Protein backbone atom coordinates (compact mmCIF):
# COMPACT_ATOMS: atom_id res chain seq x y z
CA UNK A 1 0.00 0.00 0.00
CA UNK A 2 2.88 2.30 0.79
CA UNK A 3 4.48 1.58 -2.54
CA UNK A 4 1.30 2.47 -4.49
CA UNK A 5 1.04 5.78 -2.65
CA UNK A 6 4.66 6.55 -3.34
CA UNK A 7 4.21 5.70 -7.04
CA UNK A 8 1.12 7.89 -7.34
CA UNK A 9 2.96 10.76 -5.67
CA UNK A 10 5.91 10.38 -8.02
CA UNK A 11 3.63 10.36 -11.05
CA UNK A 12 1.81 13.45 -9.79
CA UNK A 13 5.07 15.24 -9.17
CA UNK A 14 6.32 14.34 -12.66
CA UNK A 15 3.10 15.59 -14.20
CA UNK A 16 3.31 18.82 -12.26
CA UNK A 17 6.91 19.29 -13.29
CA UNK A 18 6.00 18.61 -16.93
CA UNK A 19 3.16 21.11 -16.76
CA UNK A 20 5.46 23.64 -15.11
CA UNK A 21 8.08 23.16 -17.81
CA UNK A 22 5.45 23.42 -20.55
CA UNK A 23 4.16 26.64 -19.04
CA UNK A 24 7.69 28.01 -18.62
CA UNK A 25 8.67 27.34 -22.22
CA UNK A 26 5.29 28.18 -23.77
CA UNK A 27 5.45 31.30 -26.07
CA UNK A 28 4.41 34.41 -24.19
CA UNK A 29 2.15 37.09 -25.71
CA UNK A 30 4.27 39.87 -27.18
CA UNK A 31 3.75 43.18 -25.38
CA UNK A 32 2.94 45.94 -27.87
CA UNK A 33 1.63 49.48 -27.84
CA UNK A 34 -1.40 50.30 -29.93
CA UNK A 35 -3.36 53.27 -31.18
CA UNK A 36 -6.84 53.63 -32.58
CA UNK A 37 -7.44 54.74 -36.16
CA UNK A 38 -9.49 57.93 -36.00
CA UNK A 39 -11.19 60.25 -38.44
CA UNK A 40 -10.41 63.95 -38.39
CA UNK A 41 -8.50 66.79 -39.98
CA UNK A 42 -5.20 65.89 -41.60
CA UNK A 43 -2.60 68.43 -42.68
CA UNK A 44 0.64 68.02 -44.57
CA UNK A 45 2.98 70.96 -44.30
CA UNK A 46 6.47 72.30 -44.89
CA UNK A 47 8.25 73.67 -41.82
CA UNK A 48 11.06 76.17 -42.16
CA UNK A 49 12.60 79.10 -40.32
CA UNK A 50 11.69 82.58 -41.52
CA UNK A 51 12.25 86.19 -40.59
CA UNK A 52 10.03 89.21 -40.58
CA UNK A 53 10.71 92.25 -42.71
CA UNK A 54 8.95 95.43 -43.68
CA UNK A 55 7.02 95.11 -46.86
CA UNK A 56 7.80 98.69 -47.88
CA UNK A 57 10.69 100.89 -46.82
CA UNK A 58 10.93 104.58 -47.58
CA UNK A 59 14.23 106.42 -47.76
CA UNK A 60 14.05 110.20 -47.40
CA UNK A 61 16.81 111.69 -49.56
CA UNK A 62 18.04 115.22 -50.15
CA UNK A 63 16.25 116.62 -53.23
CA UNK A 64 18.86 119.39 -53.45
CA UNK A 65 22.51 119.86 -52.74
CA UNK A 66 22.79 121.85 -49.55
CA UNK A 67 23.52 121.81 -45.86
CA UNK A 68 21.24 119.64 -43.77
CA UNK A 69 20.59 120.70 -40.20
CA UNK A 70 20.98 118.24 -37.36
CA UNK A 71 18.22 115.62 -37.41
CA UNK A 72 16.70 115.23 -33.94
CA UNK A 73 14.70 112.08 -34.74
CA UNK A 74 15.94 108.77 -33.39
CA UNK A 75 15.35 105.13 -34.27
CA UNK A 76 11.96 103.99 -33.03
CA UNK A 77 10.28 107.41 -33.08
CA UNK A 78 6.76 107.48 -34.49
CA UNK A 79 5.95 110.16 -37.06
CA UNK A 80 2.86 111.11 -39.02
CA UNK A 81 2.61 111.58 -42.76
CA UNK A 82 3.67 115.08 -43.73
CA UNK A 83 5.68 115.71 -40.56
CA UNK A 84 8.94 117.59 -41.01
CA UNK A 85 11.84 115.15 -40.68
CA UNK A 86 14.76 117.30 -41.85
CA UNK A 87 15.58 120.88 -42.83
CA UNK A 88 17.90 121.66 -45.72
CA UNK A 89 19.53 124.96 -46.57
CA UNK A 90 20.10 124.89 -50.33
CA UNK A 91 23.56 125.80 -51.55
CA UNK A 92 22.90 127.37 -54.96
CA UNK A 93 25.22 129.42 -57.06
CA UNK A 94 24.03 132.88 -58.17
CA UNK A 95 23.82 131.62 -61.72
CA UNK A 96 22.19 128.22 -61.94
CA UNK A 97 23.70 126.23 -64.78
CA UNK A 98 21.67 124.31 -67.33
CA UNK A 99 22.84 120.95 -65.99
CA UNK A 100 21.39 121.53 -62.51
CA UNK A 101 18.11 122.68 -63.99
CA UNK A 102 17.84 119.61 -66.20
CA UNK A 103 18.64 117.31 -63.28
CA UNK A 104 15.74 118.77 -61.28
CA UNK A 105 13.43 118.53 -64.28
CA UNK A 106 14.43 114.89 -64.71
CA UNK A 107 13.68 114.25 -61.03
CA UNK A 108 10.21 115.73 -61.51
CA UNK A 109 9.58 113.53 -64.57
CA UNK A 110 10.68 110.45 -62.64
CA UNK A 111 8.32 111.35 -59.81
CA UNK A 112 5.43 111.82 -62.25
CA UNK A 113 6.15 108.44 -63.85
CA UNK A 114 6.12 106.89 -60.39
CA UNK A 115 2.66 108.36 -59.83
CA UNK A 116 1.39 106.72 -63.01
CA UNK A 117 2.88 103.38 -62.04
CA UNK A 118 1.39 103.61 -58.54
CA UNK A 119 -2.02 104.44 -60.03
CA UNK A 120 -1.84 101.37 -62.29
CA UNK A 121 -0.89 99.17 -59.33
CA UNK A 122 -3.76 100.59 -57.28
CA UNK A 123 -6.25 99.84 -60.06
CA UNK A 124 -4.95 96.29 -60.36
CA UNK A 125 -5.17 95.80 -56.59
CA UNK A 126 -8.71 97.18 -56.57
CA UNK A 127 -9.83 94.68 -59.23
CA UNK A 128 -8.15 91.79 -57.40
CA UNK A 129 -9.78 92.81 -54.16
CA UNK A 130 -13.20 92.90 -55.83
CA UNK A 131 -12.63 89.44 -57.30
CA UNK A 132 -11.55 88.10 -53.91
CA UNK A 133 -14.65 89.63 -52.28
CA UNK A 134 -16.90 87.98 -54.87
CA UNK A 135 -15.21 84.60 -54.35
CA UNK A 136 -15.51 84.89 -50.57
CA UNK A 137 -19.21 85.78 -50.80
CA UNK A 138 -19.88 82.88 -53.15
CA UNK A 139 -17.99 80.49 -50.88
CA UNK A 140 -19.95 81.61 -47.81
CA UNK A 141 -23.23 80.98 -49.61
CA UNK A 142 -22.11 77.52 -50.76
CA UNK A 143 -20.77 76.68 -47.30
CA UNK A 144 -24.10 77.61 -45.70
CA UNK A 145 -25.81 75.19 -48.10
CA UNK A 146 -23.28 72.46 -47.32
CA UNK A 147 -21.74 72.34 -50.80
CA UNK A 148 -18.28 73.62 -49.86
CA UNK A 149 -15.59 72.36 -47.52
CA UNK A 150 -14.68 74.66 -44.60
CA UNK A 151 -11.05 74.65 -45.75
CA UNK A 152 -12.01 76.25 -49.05
CA UNK A 153 -14.02 78.91 -47.20
CA UNK A 154 -11.03 79.67 -44.97
CA UNK A 155 -8.78 79.94 -48.02
CA UNK A 156 -11.12 82.40 -49.74
CA UNK A 157 -11.39 84.50 -46.59
CA UNK A 158 -7.61 84.61 -46.31
CA UNK A 159 -7.40 85.60 -49.97
CA UNK A 160 -9.82 88.46 -49.34
CA UNK A 161 -7.80 89.66 -46.35
CA UNK A 162 -4.59 89.52 -48.39
CA UNK A 163 -6.21 91.38 -51.30
CA UNK A 164 -7.39 94.08 -48.90
CA UNK A 165 -3.86 94.50 -47.57
CA UNK A 166 -2.54 94.69 -51.11
CA UNK A 167 -5.03 97.45 -51.90
CA UNK A 168 -4.00 99.35 -48.76
CA UNK A 169 -0.35 99.04 -49.77
CA UNK A 170 -1.14 100.28 -53.27
CA UNK A 171 -3.00 103.26 -51.80
CA UNK A 172 0.02 104.03 -49.63
CA UNK A 173 2.24 103.91 -52.72
CA UNK A 174 -0.06 106.41 -54.44
CA UNK A 175 0.28 108.83 -51.55
CA UNK A 176 4.06 108.41 -51.46
CA UNK A 177 4.29 108.99 -55.22
CA UNK A 178 2.19 112.15 -54.96
CA UNK A 179 4.42 113.34 -52.13
CA UNK A 180 7.46 112.73 -54.31
CA UNK A 181 6.00 114.88 -57.08
CA UNK A 182 5.35 117.72 -54.62
CA UNK A 183 8.92 117.53 -53.30
CA UNK A 184 10.38 117.43 -56.82
CA UNK A 185 8.33 120.47 -57.87
CA UNK A 186 9.41 122.40 -54.79
CA UNK A 187 13.05 121.56 -55.47
CA UNK A 188 12.73 122.64 -59.10
CA UNK A 189 11.18 125.92 -58.01
CA UNK A 190 14.03 126.47 -55.55
CA UNK A 191 16.52 125.99 -58.41
CA UNK A 192 14.68 128.28 -60.79
CA UNK A 193 14.19 131.04 -58.24
CA UNK A 194 16.97 130.73 -55.65
CA UNK A 195 16.42 132.61 -52.41
CA UNK A 196 19.52 132.65 -50.18
CA UNK A 197 18.78 131.85 -46.55
CA UNK A 198 15.42 130.17 -47.24
CA UNK A 199 15.20 126.70 -45.65
CA UNK A 200 13.81 123.72 -47.53
CA UNK A 201 11.86 121.26 -45.38
CA UNK A 202 11.68 117.53 -46.01
CA UNK A 203 8.43 115.83 -44.98
CA UNK A 204 7.64 112.22 -44.16
CA UNK A 205 5.94 110.52 -47.12
CA UNK A 206 4.01 108.09 -44.86
CA UNK A 207 3.10 107.60 -41.25
CA UNK A 208 5.41 105.10 -39.62
CA UNK A 209 8.47 104.49 -37.50
CA UNK A 210 12.00 105.77 -37.96
CA UNK A 211 14.08 102.71 -38.75
CA UNK A 212 17.49 104.30 -39.29
CA UNK A 213 18.91 107.80 -39.20
CA UNK A 214 21.56 107.74 -41.90
CA UNK A 215 22.78 111.31 -41.43
CA UNK A 216 22.21 112.65 -37.94
CA UNK A 217 24.77 115.46 -37.74
CA UNK A 218 24.66 118.79 -39.53
CA UNK A 219 26.68 118.56 -42.73
CA UNK A 220 26.73 119.39 -46.42
CA UNK A 221 25.07 116.78 -48.62
CA UNK A 222 24.86 116.19 -52.33
CA UNK A 223 21.73 115.71 -54.40
CA UNK A 224 20.14 112.34 -53.60
CA UNK A 225 22.01 111.68 -50.33
CA UNK A 226 19.92 109.33 -48.10
CA UNK A 227 19.07 110.98 -44.78
CA UNK A 228 16.80 108.57 -42.95
CA UNK A 229 14.73 105.42 -43.46
CA UNK A 230 11.05 105.06 -42.53
CA UNK A 231 8.63 102.17 -42.43
CA UNK A 232 5.29 101.02 -41.08
CA UNK A 233 5.83 98.19 -38.60
CA UNK A 234 2.15 97.30 -38.98
CA UNK A 235 2.84 96.15 -42.55
CA UNK A 236 5.18 93.22 -41.92
CA UNK A 237 5.76 90.20 -44.10
CA UNK A 238 7.75 87.01 -43.56
CA UNK A 239 10.49 85.68 -45.81
CA UNK A 240 11.22 81.94 -45.73
CA UNK A 241 13.93 80.28 -47.79
CA UNK A 242 12.61 76.91 -48.99
CA UNK A 243 14.33 74.14 -50.89
CA UNK A 244 13.30 74.26 -54.54
CA UNK A 245 11.53 70.90 -54.24
CA UNK A 246 9.42 72.19 -51.33
CA UNK A 247 8.79 75.55 -52.98
CA UNK A 248 6.93 73.81 -55.82
CA UNK A 249 4.32 72.70 -53.27
CA UNK A 250 4.03 76.09 -51.53
CA UNK A 251 1.50 77.58 -53.91
CA UNK A 252 0.39 81.22 -53.62
CA UNK A 253 -2.66 81.37 -51.38
CA UNK A 254 -1.56 78.46 -49.18
CA UNK A 255 -2.36 78.78 -45.49
CA UNK A 256 0.62 79.36 -43.21
CA UNK A 257 0.83 78.78 -39.47
CA UNK A 258 3.47 80.95 -37.73
CA UNK A 259 4.90 79.31 -34.63
CA UNK A 260 7.68 80.07 -32.15
CA UNK A 261 7.42 83.79 -32.78
CA UNK A 262 8.03 84.70 -29.13
CA UNK A 263 4.49 84.78 -27.78
CA UNK A 264 1.60 82.44 -26.90
CA UNK A 265 -0.38 80.58 -29.54
CA UNK A 266 0.15 80.75 -33.28
CA UNK A 267 -0.32 83.44 -35.92
CA UNK A 268 -1.97 83.05 -39.30
CA UNK A 269 -0.43 83.83 -42.65
CA UNK A 270 -0.82 83.27 -46.35
CA UNK A 271 1.71 82.69 -49.12
CA UNK A 272 1.70 85.75 -51.36
CA UNK A 273 4.49 84.98 -53.76
CA UNK A 274 7.13 82.40 -54.60
CA UNK A 275 10.04 84.17 -56.24
CA UNK A 276 10.91 82.75 -59.68
CA UNK A 277 14.71 82.66 -59.23
CA UNK A 278 16.56 80.29 -56.93
CA UNK A 279 19.93 80.84 -55.30
CA UNK A 280 22.64 78.67 -53.82
CA UNK A 281 23.02 78.54 -50.06
CA UNK A 282 25.51 76.53 -48.04
CA UNK A 283 23.88 74.70 -45.13
CA UNK A 284 25.34 74.33 -41.65
CA UNK A 285 26.72 70.94 -42.73
CA UNK A 286 28.55 72.49 -45.65
CA UNK A 287 26.13 71.19 -48.30
CA UNK A 288 25.19 73.44 -51.20
CA UNK A 289 21.41 73.78 -51.50
CA UNK A 290 19.20 75.46 -54.05
CA UNK A 291 16.65 77.57 -52.26
CA UNK A 292 13.82 79.94 -53.19
CA UNK A 293 12.44 82.88 -51.24
CA UNK A 294 8.76 82.58 -50.32
CA UNK A 295 6.94 85.75 -49.23
CA UNK A 296 4.23 85.34 -46.59
CA UNK A 297 1.64 87.89 -45.52
CA UNK A 298 0.57 88.06 -41.89
CA UNK A 299 -3.23 87.81 -41.64
CA UNK A 300 -5.32 89.21 -38.81
CA UNK A 301 -2.40 90.76 -36.96
CA UNK A 302 -4.78 93.33 -35.45
CA UNK A 303 -6.71 90.46 -33.82
CA UNK A 304 -3.58 88.60 -32.67
CA UNK A 305 -2.32 88.59 -29.05
CA UNK A 306 -0.83 91.86 -27.85
CA UNK A 307 2.80 90.58 -27.95
CA UNK A 308 2.42 89.96 -31.70
CA UNK A 309 2.03 93.68 -32.30
CA UNK A 310 5.56 94.14 -30.91
CA UNK A 311 7.10 92.17 -33.76
CA UNK A 312 9.66 94.20 -35.63
CA UNK A 313 11.88 94.03 -38.66
CA UNK A 314 14.20 91.01 -38.85
CA UNK A 315 12.56 88.89 -36.09
CA UNK A 316 13.00 85.14 -36.36
CA UNK A 317 9.91 82.90 -36.57
CA UNK A 318 9.00 79.37 -37.64
CA UNK A 319 6.53 78.94 -40.48
CA UNK A 320 4.49 75.87 -41.33
CA UNK A 321 3.10 76.09 -44.87
CA UNK A 322 0.05 73.83 -45.27
CA UNK A 323 0.30 72.01 -48.61
CA UNK A 324 -2.55 69.52 -48.10
CA UNK A 325 -5.62 69.55 -45.87
CA UNK A 326 -8.39 66.96 -45.52
CA UNK A 327 -11.23 67.36 -43.04
CA UNK A 328 -12.43 63.74 -42.77
CA UNK A 329 -9.28 61.71 -43.16
CA UNK A 330 -8.68 58.32 -41.57
CA UNK A 331 -5.51 58.78 -39.51
CA UNK A 332 -3.07 56.51 -37.70
CA UNK A 333 0.29 57.35 -36.12
CA UNK A 334 2.99 57.41 -38.77
CA UNK A 335 4.99 54.99 -36.60
CA UNK A 336 2.38 52.28 -37.24
CA UNK A 337 2.96 52.22 -41.01
CA UNK A 338 5.85 50.30 -42.54
CA UNK A 339 6.82 49.10 -46.03
CA UNK A 340 6.38 45.50 -47.15
CA UNK A 341 7.76 43.78 -50.23
CA UNK A 342 6.48 40.76 -52.11
CA UNK A 343 5.83 39.58 -55.66
CA UNK A 344 3.15 42.22 -56.01
CA UNK A 345 5.66 45.04 -56.01
CA UNK A 346 5.50 46.00 -52.35
CA UNK A 347 3.46 48.62 -50.58
CA UNK A 348 2.61 49.75 -47.06
CA UNK A 349 1.02 47.82 -44.22
CA UNK A 350 0.06 47.96 -40.55
CA UNK A 351 -0.42 45.37 -37.84
CA UNK A 352 -4.03 45.25 -36.63
CA UNK A 353 -4.89 43.60 -33.29
CA UNK A 354 -7.87 41.22 -33.62
CA UNK A 355 -8.90 38.70 -30.94
CA UNK A 356 -5.58 39.11 -29.15
CA UNK A 357 -3.47 38.38 -32.22
CA UNK A 358 -1.60 40.62 -34.66
CA UNK A 359 -2.82 40.51 -38.24
CA UNK A 360 -0.90 42.05 -41.16
CA UNK A 361 -3.13 44.44 -43.08
CA UNK A 362 -2.06 46.16 -46.29
CA UNK A 363 -3.08 49.80 -46.57
CA UNK A 364 -2.92 52.61 -49.09
CA UNK A 365 -1.30 55.73 -47.65
CA UNK A 366 -2.52 58.95 -49.24
CA UNK A 367 -0.09 61.24 -47.40
CA UNK A 368 1.84 61.57 -44.19
CA UNK A 369 3.30 64.27 -42.00
CA UNK A 370 5.61 64.28 -39.02
CA UNK A 371 3.17 62.51 -36.72
CA UNK A 372 0.26 61.03 -38.68
CA UNK A 373 -0.45 59.04 -41.83
CA UNK A 374 -3.62 59.46 -43.88
CA UNK A 375 -4.96 55.99 -44.76
CA UNK A 376 -7.04 55.99 -47.91
CA UNK A 377 -8.09 52.35 -47.78
CA UNK A 378 -7.26 49.10 -45.98
CA UNK A 379 -8.66 49.63 -42.47
CA UNK A 380 -11.71 51.26 -40.91
CA UNK A 381 -12.08 53.86 -38.20
CA UNK A 382 -11.73 52.32 -34.74
CA UNK A 383 -9.19 49.70 -35.80
CA UNK A 384 -6.50 49.00 -33.21
CA UNK A 385 -3.07 49.26 -34.86
CA UNK A 386 0.36 48.49 -33.40
CA UNK A 387 2.73 51.45 -33.15
CA UNK A 388 6.48 50.86 -33.38
CA UNK A 389 6.00 47.14 -34.17
CA UNK A 390 8.96 45.17 -32.73
CA UNK A 391 11.05 42.92 -35.03
CA UNK A 392 9.69 39.79 -33.35
CA UNK A 393 6.12 40.64 -34.28
CA UNK A 394 4.80 38.34 -37.01
CA UNK A 395 1.30 37.79 -38.40
CA UNK A 396 -0.74 35.58 -36.07
CA UNK A 397 1.43 36.13 -32.99
CA UNK A 398 -0.45 36.58 -29.73
CA UNK A 399 -0.02 40.08 -28.33
CA UNK A 400 -0.69 41.85 -25.07
CA UNK A 401 -1.59 45.51 -25.34
CA UNK A 402 0.49 47.74 -23.10
CA UNK A 403 -1.41 50.68 -21.64
CA UNK A 404 0.92 53.63 -22.41
CA UNK A 405 -1.42 56.02 -20.57
CA UNK A 406 -0.60 54.34 -17.27
CA UNK A 407 2.95 55.73 -17.35
Give the confidence band of 95 by pLDDT, cuts at 50, 70, 90.
Answer: very low
Q: For position 193, what pLDDT does the model report? A: 63
Indicate whether 50 pLDDT > 90: yes
Measured over the CA atoms of residue 182, residue 187, residue 189 and residue 190, the dihedral's sign is positive
Give the confidence band of 405 by pLDDT, cuts at 50, 70, 90.
Answer: very low
Q: For position 161, what pLDDT does the model report? A: 76
Give the confidence band of 144 by pLDDT, cuts at 50, 70, 90.
Answer: confident
Q: For position 220, what pLDDT does the model report? A: 85
Q: For position 5, what pLDDT does the model report? A: 66
Distance CA 278, CA 32 (A): 47
Average pLDDT over residues 368-386: 90
Give the confidence band of 407 by pLDDT, cuts at 50, 70, 90.
Answer: very low
Distance CA 50, CA 284 (A): 16
Q: For position 318, what pLDDT does the model report? A: 94
Give the confidence band of 194 by pLDDT, cuts at 50, 70, 90.
Answer: low
Average pLDDT over residues 383-404: 84
pLDDT tens track for 301-352: 777 777 787 888 889 999 999 988 888 899 999 999 998 876 555 689 999 9
pLDDT tens track for 10-48: 676 667 666 665 555 556 678 888 899 999 999 889 999
pTM: 0.64
Average pLDDT over residues 345-373: 88
Q: What percent of the chain has pLDDT over 70?
A: 85
Average pLDDT over residues 293-297: 92
CA distances from 136 to 78, 198, 253 (A): 36, 55, 13
To 5 degrees, how large is the angle CA 255–CA 333–CA 266? 30
Give the confidence band of 192 by pLDDT, cuts at 50, 70, 90.
Answer: low
Q: For position 1, what pLDDT does the model report? A: 47
Amino acid sequence: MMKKTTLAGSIGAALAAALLLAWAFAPRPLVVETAVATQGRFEASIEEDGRTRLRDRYVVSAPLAGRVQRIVLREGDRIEAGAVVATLEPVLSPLVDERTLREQQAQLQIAQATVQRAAARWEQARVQRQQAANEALRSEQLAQQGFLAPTRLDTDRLALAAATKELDAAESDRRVAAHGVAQARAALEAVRQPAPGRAFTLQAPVAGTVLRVLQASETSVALGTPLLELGDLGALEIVAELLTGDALRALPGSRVVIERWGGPGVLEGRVRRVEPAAFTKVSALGVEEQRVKVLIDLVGLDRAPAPARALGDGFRVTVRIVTLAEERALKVPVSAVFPVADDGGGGMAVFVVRDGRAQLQRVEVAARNGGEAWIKRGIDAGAQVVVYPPPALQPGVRVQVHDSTAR
